[in-house]
Amino acid sequence: MKKSLLVLFTVFFALTAVFAGAEKEIAPVEKVALGSTPVTITFWHSASDDAGLLVDKYIKEFNANNEYQITVNAIYQGQYSDATTLMKTILSAENYKELPDIMQLDATGKLDYYNSGKAFTIDNAVKYFDDDIVDDYLAGALGNWQFSGAQLGLPFATSTTITYYNKDALKAAGWDKGPDTFADIIQLNKDMKAKGVNMATYGAVPNTPTLANWLGQLGSYVVNNSNGADATATKLECIENGALKTFLTEWKAMYDAGALKNESLSTNQFVAGEVAVFTGSSSTVNSLLSKVGGKFEVGATTFLRVNSSANHGATVSGSCLVLFDSEDALKKAAAWEFIKYMTGEEVQADFAAGTGYTPGYKAAVDNVNYKNLLATTPQFSVAPGQLAKTPASMRSVTVGPTVDFYYAIQNEITAMLKDNLTVDATVKSMEKSLQGLLDNYLRMNP
């Protein structure tokens, strides 16, 4: 017999909660016995490759084993930006019934979700269900999914950016450890050439997330309001303090020394032995090791530092799970059970082991199977170790013009290198273009 769980109690007054930065009145709640009748909820996700296979497995197991007659209808919506675009289209047309009950959301959708008028935030859910579970999650993982004091979602796919390197190539160049700073990349390039190691040393094109990391190491945000985490970003915060200039100076020095390729190198190029050092998401550890398949030994270390004075660390990235207000008590209750399952110990530990993501749930970090993995495969241990040392003040960037901001950073830095522009000229150009994007967004969204 299916177990019934009383999830809501009768109340005779309206509850008031904060939805998307504005007060929204919740209708009087009726008793709902979760498990008393079948219920189907919709889940949008953007998990593909190894992560996608695992998500499919978790949903299949939940549908087969949950006690409350819940069926999760999972729909893959492509990349995060694709899902965010679809969400915005639905919101703009006010076709709210087309919204999912749960959505996997990354930084590109935070502001749109918050301002949607249909957000059922974790703060709302905790009050609604009288079920405070927030303390069960790691503070760093939670912090990435907060905006203007609200906890928007729960961490699901938690990652950070780390440095991978070809141990065999570095050993041939006389190195017994991975590079730590941009200056190390320059020296490694010299040593590789001297020893006849014929491959690129390092390649990357900075974008919004990586710039947030490197400026964060220098004690600066890219934009104000804690990189847009506390309130809507209105201006750049890396110009007057000199952080952007310091970063660009060190970045250009690598390029001018021939140690940096101005290309967004992929894991495939690293696997093919075309580049010695590669910075990328910790979420790819498992697939990267599988692709290399023993052709060479893969090393992993913390994210490259701008210089020896910079702090170690990189921001939390990845995705969270958020809830929408379906105005259906049974669906809300079912969605709450599913989100707790997907972000709980068992799934989080297994998902981390199968990908490289770091558990966002505290108990999953101490899970025996996960701890054994870290002990036997050290490449997996770099990300959780780095996140533990990364200052809580370091935040990823949340801005309204997400896509345009991302490409503007890439284009400006590419122009500096290819056209041999001065650092000072590039700082002025970036200030103009990036501030212009922020100003235009604020004009269009007063």
Q: Per residue in 155-178, pLDDT tens?
A: 999 999 999 999 999 999 999 999
Class of domain 5-159+317-366: alpha beta
User: pLDDT value at position 31?
Assistant: 54
- Tell whether the torsion through CA atoms of 67, 70, 72 and 73 is positive or negative: positive
Question: Residues 321-345: what's their mean pLDDT?
Answer: 97
3-class SS at 29?
Answer: coil
Measure the CA–CA gap between 56 and 26, rounded to whole angstroms: 33
- Of the candidates 385, 359, 400, the residue with the CA atom closest to the CA atom of residue 208: 400
User: Which residue in this structure is represented by tokens 């065999």?
Assistant: 168
Model confidence over 227-237: pLDDT tens digits?
998 999 999 99
Contacts of range 70-74, beta carbons closer than 8 Å, 24 or more positions apart: 70/34, 70/38, 70/39, 70/40, 70/41, 70/334, 70/337, 70/338, 71/38, 71/39, 71/40, 71/41, 72/40, 72/41, 72/42, 72/43, 72/338, 73/40, 73/41, 73/42, 73/43, 74/43, 74/45
Question: Residues 202-209: what's their mean pLDDT?
Answer: 96
The residue with greater pLDDT, 24 or 179, is: 179
The yes-or-no verdict on residue 67 having pLDDT over 50 is: yes
Share above pLDDT 70 across residues of the chain, in percent, rounded to a whole number: 93
User: pLDDT value at position 390?
Assistant: 85
Question: Residues 279-291: what's their mean pLDDT?
Answer: 93
Residue 19 pLDDT level (bands cut at 50, 70, 90): very low
Task: Calculate ∠ Cα 274-275-276, nearest 5°.
Answer: 130
Residue 265 pLDDT level (bands cut at 50, 70, 90): confident
User: pLDDT value at position 392?
Assistant: 76
Q: Which CATH code for domain 161-314+391-444?
A: 3.40.190.10
Question: Residues 311-322: what's their mean pLDDT?
Answer: 93
pTM of the full predicted structure? 0.84
Where exactly are the structural domains of the chain?
5-159+317-366, 161-314+391-444
Mean of all residue pLDDT scores within the chain: 91
5-159+317-366 and 161-314+391-444: same fold?
yes
